């Protein structure tokens, strides 16, 4: 289990997150929803070690990794697929995927995983040698997810998967995510503005509003939780 306890963070003198408590179990898909500016990406960055967290603890299977730097966290299996993909646009799809495996030394497994990625996303096969920057939004998202998978994550964080992606492709991605979970059974945390998408993907959800968790529970219960609308719209 990945457990966040009492996390407080911010940028300079602006505090953005207050007392966050959150956990993700191995094999589970959890959603983090909330309006724009609530601090969802900030929270992910804290978990992945990209942002210093002056107060709070992060436990990975009962190990306190709060002070572990970001690049080591990746080696420990915490992988983020950032908002806006952030692909290496001047590199080919295949090179992007290889970059995903940068931290790994098991060459044989890496090429196996590469093939698995292409089985998951057959659309990428023909795009193998194309520059990542020339792909459409949906194709880029597939490439980004595949790249993330190449690190053999134990916990995967996907930030705003649906942004800039056509609805048809979003459905396609949902299927892919389910396949991934069935195969790899990792701990998956999905950050989404699109509430329905999040609740369809995840078994549990947390609602973040202006830096605080205001509600959480099973997805099926959350759908009718009025706190969600209140978090987004203020009443």
Residues of this chain that bind other proteins (CB under 8 A): 13-15, 35-37, 193-197, 199, 210, 223-224, 228-229, 232-235
Given the complex with other proteins, which of 35 and 70 has the nearer CB atom?
A: 35
Tell how strand 212-218 and strand 55-60 pair up: unpaired
Smallest separation, CB 179 to other proteins (Å): 21
Given the complex with other proteins, which of 93 and 207 has the nearer CB atom?
A: 207
Given the complex with other proteins, which of 37 and 217 has the nearer CB atom?
A: 37
Given the complex with other proteins, which of 126 and 224 has the nearer CB atom?
A: 224
Smallest separation, CB 233 to other proteins (Å): 4
Smallest separation, CB 210 to other proteins (Å): 7
Smallest separation, CB 133 to other proteins (Å): 20
3-state secondary structure of 150: coil
3-state secondary structure of 162: coil
Q: Which helix (H) or strand (E) holds 142?
A: helix 137-149
Tell how strand 204-209 and strand 187-192 pair up: unpaired
DSSP assignment of 57-109 equals EEEETTEE-TTS-HHHHHHTTEEEE-TT----TTSBHHHHHHHHTTT---HHH
């Amino acid at each position: 289990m990945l457990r966040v306890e009492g996390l407080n963070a911010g940028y300079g003198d602006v505090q953005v997150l207050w007392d966050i408590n959150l956990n993700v179990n191995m094999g589970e898909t959890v959603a983090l929803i909330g309006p724009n500016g609530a601090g969802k990406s900030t929270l992910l960055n804290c978990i992945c070690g990209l942002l210093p967290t002056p107060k709070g603890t992060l436990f990975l299977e009962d190990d306190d990794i709060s002070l572990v730097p970001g690049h080591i966290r990746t080696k420990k299996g915490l992988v983020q697929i950032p908002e806006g993909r952030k692909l290496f646009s001047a590199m080919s799809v295949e090179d992007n995927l290889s970059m995903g495996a940068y931290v790994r030394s098991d060459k044989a497994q890496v090429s196996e995983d590469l093939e698995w990625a292409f089985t998951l996303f057959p659309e990428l096969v023909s795009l193998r040698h194309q520059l990542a920057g020339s792909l459409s939004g949906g194709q880029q998202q597939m490439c980004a997810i595949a790249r993330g998978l190449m690190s053999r994550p134990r916990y995967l964080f996907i930030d705003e998967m649906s942004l800039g992606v056509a609805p048809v492709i979003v459905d396609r991605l949902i299927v892919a995510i389910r396949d991934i979970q069935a195969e790899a059974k990792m701990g998956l945390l999905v950050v989404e503005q699109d509430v329905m998408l999040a609740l369809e993907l995840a078994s549990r959800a947390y609602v973040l509003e202006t830096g605080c968790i205001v509600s959480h529970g099973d997805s099926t219960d959350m759908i009718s939780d009025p706190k969600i609308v209140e978090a987004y719209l203020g009443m």
